[in-house]
Chain A
Amino acid sequence: EAGVVQSPRYKIIEKKQPVAFWCNPISGHNTLYWYRQNLGQGPELLIRYENEEAVDDSQLPKDRFSAERLKGVDSTLKIQPAELGDSAVYLCASSSGPNTEAFFGQGTRLTVV
């Protein structure tokens, strides 16, 4: 069974440019998470989806971050415009339900220069 797939693995952009990350969850998983992990820290939740509905986006900086999960499967996280402080690893995870274990992708390492 394929795990959570994220792309790209690495991305380097100049500040003020836009960037997008893509996530394909495990088949059949209705819950999808996006996390941001700064260097030397634990992941912090940005947004959680149940199917296509964002049920928790309280930690998503909405002035520059947006996310979508059309059709309740794949998801895209976008930053526009990117700032130097956005440099981090962006992790996607999925689970079969809101209170079940989450499985993580490899992450996208973003460097903003």
Chain B
Amino acid sequence: AQSVTQPDIHITVSEGASLELRCNYSYGATPYLFWYVQSPGQGLQLLLKYFSGDTLVQGIKGFEAEFKRSQSSFNLRKPSVHWSDAAEYFCAVLRDKVIFGPGTSLSVIP
């Protein structure tokens, strides 16, 4: 069955520290991959996407993600976290329809 897992339910980092959020997917073929961010009371905003080509993709707000086919992973990274990055982060796959992971809640310590 198609699925998306995000092993970390909640992560806390200090402002200025680096960040990596993990995402693994289970799919018959390589799907299209996305990361979305959701601030409290808000809808989902697309951070970045991978369709094909370069496996390291750049997104908005200084985020990047790396697709690793051998590990079925699409981890999100940011070199220096800002307090405003505190939010819920969702990894998602697309093959006809968008399927979301359970999300990782990020807290940032000033």
- Interface on A for B, CB 8 Å cutoff? 4, 33, 40-45, 48, 56, 91, 93, 98-99, 101-107, 109
The complex places the Cα of A104 from the Cα of B99 at a distance, in Å, of 14
In the complex formed, the residue of A with least CB distance to B95 is A99
The complex places the Cα of A3 from the Cα of B32 at a distance, in Å, of 22
The answer to whether the Cβ of B53 comes within 8 Å of any Cβ in the partner chain is no
**Per-residue A-contact encoding for B94-110, CB less than 8 Å = 1, 0 else:** 11111111110000000
Cβ contact within 8 Å between B102 and A42: yes
Q: How many residues of B contact A (CB 8 A)?
A: 23
- Interface on B for A, CB 8 Å cutoff? 4, 32, 34, 36, 41-46, 49, 90, 92, 94-103
B98 touches which of A93, A106, A107 (Cβ 8 Å):
A93
**How far, in Å, is B31 (CB) from chain A's closest CB?**
9
Cβ contact within 8 Å between B103 and A101: no
A42 touches which of B45, B95, B103 (Cβ 8 Å):
B103
Query: Would you give 14 A-B contacts (Cβ < 8 Å), ordered by A?
Result: A4-B43, A41-B102, A41-B103, A42-B100, A45-B99, A91-B44, A98-B97, A99-B96, A101-B32, A102-B98, A104-B36, A104-B45, A107-B43, A109-B41
Contacting residues, chain B, for A56 (C-beta < 8 A): 96-97
